[in-house]
Amino acid sequence: MPWRLIGVVLLGAVFLFFIGFNLENRCDISLGFFTFSQVPVFLTALSAFMLGLFLALPLVVSFRFGNRRKKKTETPAGKVSRKKREKTAGTAESGVSAGSPPPDGDYGIQ
C-alpha cells in the first residue's frame, strides 16, 4: 500500500482546510524597512513553515554525512565488521568452504 502517497494526500487536505478557513483573515508583515499590508494569514504561516524547512536543511544534511564519516574512521584497520563476521561464521563453523570443491577429488568425505 502506498503509505507515503496517502500521507501526502492527507497533508494536502489539511492545508486546504487551513487555507479555506483563513481566506478572509489578513495581517500586516513588517520587515523593519518595508511593510507588507493585507497579506492572507495562510500565506504568512506557510511561508514561515517553508523558511524553517530551508533553514533546517543544511543542519540535517551535515548531521547525516557527519555520522557516516565518523563511523568510517572509528573502525580500526584490523577489525572486521559485524555483517562480515556473521556472513563468514556460517561457513567457518560447519567446515565447508564457500567455493567450488578442489580439483583433486577430495570432497572432505572420510
Q: How far apart are CA 34 and CA 32, in angstroms?
A: 6
Predicted pLDDT at 1: 62
DSSP characters over 5-61: HHHHHHHHHHHHHHHHHTSS-EEEEE-SS-EEEEEEHHHHHHHHHHHHHHHHHHHHH
Q: CA-CA distance, 32 to 88, in Å (whole number)?
A: 66
> Could you tell me how many residues make up the chain?
110
Which tens digit of pLDDT belongs to each residue from 52-98? 888 888 888 887 777 666 555 555 555 666 666 666 665 544 555 55
What's residue 34's pLDDT? 92
Domain ranges of the chain: 28-74
